[in-house]
Chain A
Amino acid sequence: MQIPHEVTARPDTGLYNAKLGIWLFLASEVMLFGGLFSGYIFLRMGAEEGYWPHGLLNVPVGAMNTAILILSSVTVVLAWASLKMRKFAAYKLWMGISILCGAIFLIVKLAYEWPQKFEHFGAFIKQDALAKYEPMLGNRHVEEENKKPGHTKIDPRVEISGHLHEVEITADPAEKEKLEAFLHRHELEAKAEEHDAKLQVIEGKHLTPGVAEDLSKLPGVRLVAFQLALDPVNAAPDDAESDKPHFWYKGATEKIGKIEAEDVESWSAFVPKHSPYFAVYFTITGLHGLHVLAGVLIMLYFWLPIEGGANMFKRNPEHLANRVEVVGLFWHFVDLVWIFVFPIFYLL
């Protein structure tokens, strides 16, 4: 049985069913992302000075992903236009490129951008210990710079970040077996600290912030200090280059810094619990990524030579064109959300 107005428009509204449906859905999506962006504004405005990071994300990679989504928005509308012109080969080409663009976006996000953050270490220093870490924070330099008129104020620096190199711990000898099993499982090594026999230095290429956190939860283990390869801003805090975010991403330097655990307010990888910034970053980019995945899967369905997909062209090309228009509207919305996500997280 043919459903009324599945293909042709209702005379009174001028719309076919799916088009009305997708716009109602997109209206609800505006409210969903609107709520999350409101949350972003709320958290950002409420963040204390220094606790909202700037310049942490890789701008060229973010810009490339933006360009990929824009390109896919063009190709998906060309795919729809090709169907309206009954050019099946052109439809397959443009839709294929759209799917490829979506897949590249997801791969960059999930295989590069996010994992990089899971391995990056950050420690917020207690207010009363900031002076002790002045060589890595450079707050006197920041104060001097902020006295100069006519430029954007630099936030005070309260965090030391980089790649975790070693952690120093004390361990209860009675729990030695559990510690050794843990170290073996994570391919880590323990050696005695030269100047303090009670201390053990844990090192290894698999020492990530997450592993360090698991280590700290072992019975009888107490974290004493972190040694890390410092990020550029902490390696050269008085350098004018450290006062502004860089366009090209600069990873951790080879300069090693040491932070006593007792001076740390909180520490973690760059994961949601790190700060409100990363909490809202992962929430919004994660939900957006799910939308990209959904869009890719639906476009793939319409591209594959299956019933309900590309095979529909032979039977009812206008119906397929309608379906592609609907997924295209969804895809443009995904692009539209990213146009806001890119500047608010990567640039501003």
Chain B
Amino acid sequence: MSDSHDHGKSAAPAAPHDSAAPTELGHDAHHNMLLGLYWGVGGGLLLATAFTVYLSYQDFGSRNANIMVGMMVATIKVGFVAAIFMHLKGEKWTIWKFLLFTMFFATGLFMLTWLHYADPIFGTSHNNH
């Protein structure tokens, strides 16, 4: 099929969600905004890392509470990496479809671990031994 032999053409970064987008340039403002977004998200992730370290030395009353807070910050960071750097924000539905399946099964995997400690079906609790 067709290759794009457009070497030398000046092209704006294609819309992140559309790898087949036209590559003509002329959208300087748009592409500068995109590059600024990448740097901004990167800077935000660095600050969030420092914040995670800071939070880990705060006492939220129990270790489980500290873990919950740490994981929440990590999940937000991961959300930005996936949405902006991996271009999932606005990605094709084809990809979202099987990612939703993956999320479903990954959640199931974590639930199986949880089932060792709790029984949501019969409501019994695990007897430590």
Residues of A near any B CB (own CB < 8 A): 2-9, 13-16, 19-20, 23-24, 27, 30-31, 34-35, 37-38, 41-42, 45, 59, 63, 66-67, 70-71, 73-74, 77-78, 80-81, 84-86, 150-153, 244-245, 247, 313-319, 322, 325, 328-329, 332-333, 335-336, 339-340, 342-344, 347-348
When A and B form their complex, which 5 residue pairs have the shortest distance between CB atoms, in order from nearest? A9-B20, A74-B42, A347-B56, A84-B13, A318-B4
Can you list 28 A-B pairs with a CB-CB distance of less than 8 A? A4-B1, A7-B4, A15-B19, A15-B94, A16-B19, A27-B98, A30-B103, A31-B105, A38-B112, A42-B113, A42-B116, A45-B117, A63-B50, A73-B81, A77-B85, A78-B35, A78-B38, A85-B11, A150-B61, A151-B61, A152-B61, A152-B62, A245-B57, A315-B5, A318-B3, A318-B6, A325-B19, A348-B63
Among B3, B9, B38, B113, which residue has its beta carbon within 8 angstroms of that of A38? Answer: B113
Known: A45-B117, A84-B12. A332 touches B86 (CB 8 A): yes
Instruction: Please determine whether A322 and B49 come into contact, CB atoms closer than 8 angstroms.
Output: no
Which B69-109 residues have a C-beta within 8 angstroms of A? 70-71, 73-74, 77-78, 81-82, 85-86, 92, 94-95, 98-99, 101-103, 105-106, 109
Additional A-B contact list (19), CB under 8 Å, known A24-B98, A344-B71 = A13-B92, A19-B19, A30-B103, A31-B102, A34-B106, A35-B109, A42-B116, A73-B81, A81-B34, A84-B11, A151-B61, A245-B57, A316-B3, A319-B4, A333-B86, A339-B45, A339-B78, A343-B71, A348-B63
List A contacts of B18 (CB < 8 A).
9, 14
Instruction: Please determine whether A332 and B2 come into contact, CB atoms closer than 8 angstroms.
Output: no
List B contacts of A9 (CB < 8 A).
18-20
A35 to B107, CA, bound (A): 10
A87 CB, nearest partner CB in chain B, Å: 8
Instruction: Please determine whether A31 and B106 come into contact, CB atoms closer than 8 angstroms.
Output: yes
Instruction: Please determine whether B7 and A314 come into contact, CB atoms closer than 8 angstroms.
Output: yes
Residues of B near any A CB (own CB < 8 A): 1-14, 18-20, 23, 25, 31, 34-35, 38-39, 41-42, 45-46, 49-50, 52-53, 56-57, 59-63, 66-67, 70-71, 73-74, 77-78, 81-82, 85-86, 92, 94-95, 98-99, 101-103, 105-106, 109-110, 112-113, 116-117
- Where chain A touches its partner, the secondary structure class is helix
Whose C-beta in chain A lies nearest to the C-beta of B116?
A42
Whose C-beta in chain A lies nearest to the C-beta of B7?
A317
Among A19, A313, A340, which residue has its beta carbon within 8 angstroms of that of B7? Answer: A313
List A contacts of B31 (CB < 8 A).
81, 85
B5 CB, nearest partner CB in chain A, Å: 6
List A contacts of B105 (CB < 8 A).
31
List B contacts of A347 (CB < 8 A).
52-53, 56, 70
Instruction: Please determine whether B63 and A152 come into contact, CB atoms closer than 8 angstroms.
Output: yes
Among A63, A153, A333, which residue has its beta carbon within 8 angstroms of that of B49? Answer: A63
Whose C-beta in chain A lies nearest to the C-beta of B73?
A343
Instruction: Please determine whether A15 and B95 come into contact, CB atoms closer than 8 angstroms.
Output: yes
Instruction: Please determine whether A7 and B8 come into contact, CB atoms closer than 8 angstroms.
Output: no
Instruction: Please determine whether B3 and A77 come into contact, CB atoms closer than 8 angstroms.
Output: no
